[in-house]
Amino acid sequence: MKLRGGKPLMNKKHIHHKVLILLLAQALSATVVDSPLFANERVTAIRGGDLYTITDGIIKNGTILIEGGKISDIGQKIGIPKDANVIDAGGKIVMPGLVAVSAEAGVIGYPNIEKIADSLDPFDFSVSLALASGITTAMVSAGRPSGSNPVGGTTAVIKTSYGDLDQMLVKESVVQPVMISNSEWLRKTTFKQNLRKAQDYLRELAEYQRSEDKKKSEEPKKPGGLDEYIRLLKREVPALISASTANDILADLELVDQFDIRMILTDAVEAWIVAEEIAKRDVRVIITPRQKVRPNEDLSAPSGSNLEIGAILRKAGVKFAIIPPSTSFETWGVVGRDLMALPMEAAFAVSGGLDEQTALEAITITAAEIIGVADRVGSLQVGKDADIIILDGHPFHHKTFVDTTLINGKVLYEKSKSIYFAHITHDK
């Protein structure tokens, strides 16, 4: 079995963070007495709600304890410490913060940036809207492949920690955007040729490292401009490829067979037609159930979109995430087509026959797994980051509002204080 979800990389980075945090805490304890770090040490308890854990079913009238920004306990019969900061979620639904596998938020839009960490904007208006929409983790990107170059641009996973730059970056360079398609033969040729070059180099390097007498042979020189390809071949990052037709999807799957790379297919409108083929290669898919594409009448095989795409992929065993047609946060235009209505998009998959559990997974744990952060977010489990949302109704109900949003155990959004939503109430 091949590696999944980029976990090995993650762990290494994670350890660094932990060491840093420990050092920082030590330094602070020596100097500052009432630092915010210590305010966090107080236990937070969310009680009374129905806990949609995603990974372990629904816990009715349960309690979550949060310590040091992480979930420290979860269940029905849990004692709440006396001095705990208690959030009452009675009659409400508590679930992990939603994960958007693609979002335009939190990055200042300077062109040609190579490091997203240097351009994060915790005061971005979209970040505040993300909190109100229940989205606590998102993959953002900067730049894209240009000219005949099939690879380019960079990605990062961020938290929508409004106002807090230090908490924002989870992981940089999580997937490699690749732009190839049927209509762009030059890019595909370049992509395959470069993969072969990188493959040759890795083979020579492996031979050199295996050879007993390293002095006799010379270490092979790393060819320039192939870093992205080497990372793909080492399966450090998956390739993110836009492929909407079955034809394109099958052609991309061939690359998995040839080069054994990890792959995420996005805009995969016709994925339902080749679901079995996708499942065989363990390729992940990002879908938009509401998207409508007319069948191509010139083709003998099936084509076009299908509202049942979610249900069909699920049946074939394909792991998929759901995003709406627009990955921005908008206060204008047509309501419901952007990330402010992410659960609505998942609800459309349900209306096409998908079970609710898988639909919820597609905007939480599966989405987190696809962008390589499932070890930290995406479910209510002990040890995970306390990124939690409290809803005033079922996540798929159109009347439902996000009541409270927490990131790393800290309340960052309350509907009652929102200048946009506080005044909207329903008779339930």
Partner 1 sequence: MRNICCYVLLSILTCGSLKAEGFGDGRYAGNHPQAALEAATEAIAIKADRIDTVTSGVIENGIIVITDGRIKAIGNDIEIPDVAEVIDVPDKTIFPGIVNPSSRIGLSLPPTGGPASNPHYRVVDELYPHQDQYKRILGAGFTTMGLLPGDRGTMSYYSGYGYFFGGRSPIPGITGQGAVIRPTGNNPEEMIVAESGFIMIYFQANDKVKKVIKSALDSAKNKANSDDPKVQPLVEALEGRIPTFVVCNLPGEMLHLFELLEPYDKMKPVLIAGIETHLVAEELAKRKIPVILPARIDFKRNTRTRINVPRLLDEVGVKIALKPESNSVRGHEDFLMQVAELVKSGLNRQVAKKAITVNPAEMLAIGYRLGSLDVGKDANLLILTGDPLDVGTKIDKVMIEGKIVYEAPWGQATDE
User: Least CB distance from residue 324 to partner 1, whole Å?
Assistant: 17
- Report the residue from 13, 17, 18, 115 that binds partner 1 according to the rule CB under 8 A: 115
User: Least CB distance from residue 23 to partner 1, whole Å?
Assistant: 17
Contact map string, positions 361 to 400, toward partner 1, x by CB under 8 A: ----------------------------------------
Per DSSP, helices labelled H in 283-409 are 309-316, 342-351, 356-361, 365-370
* Amino acid letter for position 6: G
Residues 6+ apart with CB under 8 A from 216: none
Residues 6+ apart with CB under 8 A from 356: 350, 396
Check binding of 423 to partner 1 (CB under 8 A).
no
Task: Considering only the stretches 77-85, 94-102, 121-129, 410-418, report the one whose residues sit in contact with partner 1 under the rule CB under 8 A.
Answer: 121-129
User: Least CB distance from residue 115 to partner 1, whole Å?
Assistant: 4
Check binding of 36 to partner 1 (CB under 8 A).
no
Check binding of 332 to partner 1 (CB under 8 A).
yes
Structure tokens at 182: 């049927």
User: Least CB distance from residue 165 to partner 1, whole Å?
Assistant: 4
- Report the residue from 120, 138, 367, 374 that binds partner 1 according to the rule CB under 8 A: 120
Check binding of 124 to partner 1 (CB under 8 A).
yes
Q: Is the Cβ of residue 114 or residue 200 nearer to partner 1 in the bound state?
A: 114
Check binding of 153 to partner 1 (CB under 8 A).
no
- Helices and strands: H and E segment counts in the chain: 11, 17
Check binding of 114 to partner 1 (CB under 8 A).
yes
Contacts of residues 6-10 at CB distance under 8 Å and 24 or more positions apart, as own/partner, are: 6/174, 6/236, 6/237, 6/238, 6/372, 7/372, 7/374, 7/375, 9/236, 9/372, 10/171, 10/372, 10/373, 10/375, 10/376
Q: Which residues of 43-79 are buried (b: 16+ CB within 10 A; e: fewer)?
A: bbbbbbbbbbbbeeeebeebbbbbbebbbbebeeeee
User: Least CB distance from residue 5 to partner 1, whole Å?
Assistant: 27
- Report the residue from 28, 78, 113, 233 that binds partner 1 according to the rule CB under 8 A: 113
Distances (CA, A) of 54 to 7, 377, 378: 20, 11, 8
CA atoms of 382 and 71, how far apart (whole Å): 5
* Residue 142 DSSP symbol: E
CA atoms of 415 and 211, how far apart (whole Å): 64
Q: Is the Cβ of residue 208 or residue 420 nearer to partner 1 in the bound state?
A: 420
Phi-psi region of 252 (alpha: psi -120 to 50; beta: other; left: phi over 0): alpha
* Residue 165 DSSP symbol: G
Task: Considering only the stretches 23-31, 35-43, 193-201, 330-338, report the one whose residues sit in contact with partner 1 under the rule CB under 8 A.
Answer: 330-338
- Report the residue from 31, 112, 183, 416 that binds partner 1 according to the rule CB under 8 A: 112
Q: Could you give phi then psi for residue 56, rounded to 5 degrees? A: -130, 35
Check binding of 22 to partner 1 (CB under 8 A).
no
Check binding of 185 to partner 1 (CB under 8 A).
no
How many residues in total does the chain contain?
Answer: 428
β-strand 154-159 against 70-75: which pairing, if any? unpaired
**Torsion angle, alpha carbons of 106, 109, 113, 118, to 10:** -40
User: Least CB distance from residue 322 to partner 1, whole Å?
Assistant: 25
* Residue 392 DSSP symbol: S
Task: Considering only the stretches 15-23, 87-95, 119-127, 181-189, report the one whose residues sit in contact with partner 1 under the rule CB under 8 A.
Answer: 119-127
Q: Is the Cβ of residue 114 or residue 254 nearer to partner 1 in the bound state?
A: 114
Task: Considering only the stretches 15-23, 46-54, 115-123, 382-390, report the one whose residues sit in contact with partner 1 under the rule CB under 8 A.
Answer: 115-123
CA atoms of 212 and 215, how far apart (whole Å): 9
User: Least CB distance from residue 220 to partner 1, whole Å?
Assistant: 30
Task: Considering only the stretches 11-19, 169-177, 209-217, 328-336, report the one whose residues sit in contact with partner 1 under the rule CB under 8 A.
Answer: 328-336
Q: Is the Cβ of residue 40 or residue 119 nearer to partner 1 in the bound state?
A: 119
Check binding of 123 to partner 1 (CB under 8 A).
yes
Q: Is the Cβ of residue 124 or residue 248 nearer to partner 1 in the bound state?
A: 124
User: Least CB distance from residue 276 to partner 1, whole Å?
Assistant: 43
Check binding of 122 to partner 1 (CB under 8 A).
yes
* Amino acid letter for position 367: A
- Interface ranges with partner 1 (CB under 8 A): 108-110, 112-115, 118-125, 163, 165, 330-332, 419
